[in-house]
A and B are shown apart, each in its own frame.
Chain A
């Protein structure tokens, strides 16, 4: 696919050779990056799958308990019981760099460390089922947080892999063959020129000799 717009000179040839070298090195680096990203991605995907099932099961169970609680208690009582939370959560967001992809890391802190603080109500007027539901929720919440982290990481990695893959393919199937083709075209053209010059010189020499000495080879 030699591009005919290029000028077949030694300077362009050298330039192209330099670009080919860079392209090859870039290709190798990007390929390594893609492979490593892929490896990390698969770990994350596996973890995500695990967590997702766990969280979905946990939440379904928690909601079921809550349903039972709301069947026993009146809606007003329920609302009143949960109206004002005693616990509050603070989320710390930091970033971790995986192969130049910034992925979030969450660390959360509860204001009250006492695990019983998730119950914002007195036990006298509420049913035990509500306690049960909240406890289940609290258990699943840890996993929910990790799920958020893992899922976001997965999405960001997927994007980066897609980009890297596209670059690798562009280099491998477009850039590098094109450069190689151009280099071949120029070197052939140069060789051709060289041959032409040689033949011309031989011819000239013959003519000059004949002129000077009436000498015939």
Chain B
């Protein structure tokens, strides 16, 4: 991945199980990582793990589209946050 060239630390994962393990090990040492970007297709199977960090200030786990393009999961996070706060979807989509 090209992110490595930008100076980010990358952890390649072959499948959801491996990604889950990496995610757990990264989040265990709490303050080391403030932001974790994870591909949508992996995140889809890890939503349980990711939701645990929704209410804590660190780390921020952000979904990014993978090679196959956007799956709309990132937009989903936005929608669910709005629904949670307002009680209904007011964005009109």
A-side contacts of B84, CB under 8 Å: 158-159, 161-162
Given contacts A118-B5, A134-B2, A134-B5, contact A91 B64 (CB under 8 A): no
The A-contacting residues of B in range 41-78, CB under 8 angstroms, are 54-55, 57-58, 60, 62, 64-67, 69-70, 74-75, 77-78
CA distance A8 to B4 in the complex (A): 73
Q: Contact at B81–A45, with CB atoms within 8 Å?
A: yes
CB closest residue in chain B, given A156: B57
Q: Contact at B62–A144, with CB atoms within 8 Å?
A: yes
Q: Contact at B5–A91, with CB atoms within 8 Å?
A: no
CA distance A82 to B5 in the complex (A): 6
Of B54, B69, B81, chain A has the most CB atoms within 10 Å of the CB of B81
Interface size of B in residues (CB-CB distance below 8 Å): 34
Q: Contact at B57–A152, with CB atoms within 8 Å?
A: yes
CB closest residue in chain A, given B36: A148
A-side contacts of B67, CB under 8 Å: 63, 67
Q: Contact at B6–A106, with CB atoms within 8 Å?
A: no
B-side contacts of A110, CB under 8 Å: 7
B-side contacts of A62, CB under 8 Å: 2
**A residues near B, CB below 8 A?**
38, 41, 45, 48-49, 52, 55-56, 59-60, 62-63, 66-67, 82, 85-89, 91, 93, 95, 102-104, 106, 110-111, 118-120, 133-134, 137-138, 141, 144-145, 147-149, 151-152, 154-159, 161-162, 165
Q: Given contacts A82-B2, A93-B58, A133-B2, could you give 20 more A-B pairs where the C-beta distance is less than 8 Å?
A: A41-B85, A49-B78, A82-B1, A86-B5, A87-B5, A91-B34, A102-B57, A104-B34, A104-B58, A118-B6, A120-B5, A137-B5, A138-B6, A148-B35, A149-B60, A151-B78, A155-B81, A159-B84, A161-B85, A165-B85
**B residues near A, CB below 8 A?**
1-8, 34-35, 37, 54-55, 57-58, 60, 62, 64-67, 69-70, 74-75, 77-78, 81-82, 84-87, 91
